[in-house]
Amino acid sequence: MPEDVPELMEQLIELAETGVPGSRVDAELAIRVGHGRRRRRRFAVGTAAAVLALGVGGLAALPAVGHGNQVAPAMSASGAVTDTAPATPVNPYFAPASVPAGSTDPKQYVPAVGSDPLVVEAGFGWLPGWAVDWGGRSDYQSSYWGGVFTSVTGRSFTTPGGVLKTPSMALRLYPAGATPGPAANGLPEELKPADPVNGREAFWMAGPKSSADVRLQWMTDTGRWAELDGYELPDTDPQAALHQVAESVRPSAAQIPLPVWFSDLPPAFKLSGSLLMQPNQGTKDPWSLQLVFTNGDGEITAMIRPIPLDGASPTPSAGFTPTAPSGQTCRAGNGVQICLNAHQADQMMAEVGTDANLLARFHLLGADPRTWTTWVQR
């Protein structure tokens, strides 16, 4: 698997938060997905903090893709759910969920994904007030390197000492047979017993962070380990708050509908990471989706987001070619724009020819989430 994927996921988070007044790069969440140097390429995108009403209960629930024949039905352009979605095709883009034989290292986990690259395997139930108040957002993130994360980010607050903090929680479900531990995350931590979660074994991961940064791991009723991280939590007792959240976590797989579908991409385009940042209904803050395609050291990142409310069209850059410096090229349709950014992607671009040819393979469904689909790869 590409060594650069942890770095790509750091970049995704950084891109999504670039230009937000008062925001910061979520360094802690980036560390969870991997270490590595950061290439400071940025889209000309400012994604404001979105309001959170997180819950995967309303999404199409299904057995984990790769472990059965059921797939979530596609959503038509009108938003109506159909029952005629074809079976997930055999494709060169995604691999079934797997861990190399004899390995228990979660870093080597390849998440199960089918026609939808973003499949969450667990969702939140009860959440503290800061996570559902105005000023938060929900993120869904996947990568070949680190599996799938569902996270919530609350509104930033200032401590009595004048320090700006942004509370967040990140949830993941480990693959069957994988046993998490300090070495798996590369951090100087140690296990400490925790009160059972729903009667099952649980541990705190103690590290060098402040008391507001906590990590809880527990065995779920599915026989798989779950992990919940809390960062800069404003609660009086962060451990008690995190433990209460863990007790209502639902280990249930669900495909996340996306605002785009693509087809006819060459096998050289491996979708290695994705990040959907979704606001709550009623907020003016935009959603955004980023998809990272890689091949060796080459990568092409797609940013999909609504066209600005003022109706301004995206401003195309000089575009990119296999011989030109890295840049962007954009296209708009159905109230949505897609911009592409390439890095060391000569071989990948040679497979598709021009940037226009590549853009033509992405089909934009619209800004309204009711028009989105789980049948993303066709």
Through-space distance between the first and last CA atoms of the chain, rounded to whole angstroms: 23
* Residue with the larger pLDDT of the pair 199 and 22: 199
User: What integer is the mean pLDDT of 145-168?
Assistant: 78
* Residue with the larger pLDDT of the pair 137 and 347: 347
Band of residue 337 on the pLDDT scale cut at 50, 70, 90: very high
| Euclidean distance between CA atoms 40 and 16, whole angstroms | 13
82 and 74 Cβ atoms separated by less than 8 Å: yes
User: What integer is the mean pLDDT of 124-141?
Assistant: 77
Give the chain's mean pLDDT: 66
User: What integer is the mean pLDDT of 177-187?
Assistant: 58
Question: For residue 375, what pLDDT is reported?
Answer: 84
Band of residue 76 on the pLDDT scale cut at 50, 70, 90: very low
User: What integer is the mean pLDDT of 61-90?
Assistant: 28
Band of residue 202 on the pLDDT scale cut at 50, 70, 90: very high
C-alpha pair distances (Å), 242 with each of 53, 144, 171: 18, 27, 11
Question: For residue 253, what pLDDT is reported?
Answer: 74
Q: Taking the model in full, what pTM does it have?
A: 0.67
User: What integer is the mean pLDDT of 269-277?
Assistant: 86
Neighbouring C-alpha atoms within 13 Å toward the C-beta of 96: 10
Question: For residue 151, what pLDDT is reported?
Answer: 83
Question: For residue 105, what pLDDT is reported?
Answer: 55
| Euclidean distance between CA atoms 334 and 117, whole angstroms | 22
User: What integer is the mean pLDDT of 163-189?
Assistant: 72
Flag whether pLDDT at 92 surpasses 80: no
What residue ranges define each of the domains in the chain, with the CATH number in brackets?
46-255 (no CATH), 260-371 (3.30.200)
Question: For residue 274, what pLDDT is reported?
Answer: 87
Band of residue 178 on the pLDDT scale cut at 50, 70, 90: confident
Flag whether pLDDT at 176 surpasses 50: yes
Band of residue 282 on the pLDDT scale cut at 50, 70, 90: low
Q: Which of 297, 318, 284 is nearest to 36 (CA)?
A: 297
Band of residue 153 on the pLDDT scale cut at 50, 70, 90: confident
pLDDT tens per residue across span 228-259: 999 888 888 999 999 999 999 998 877 788 99
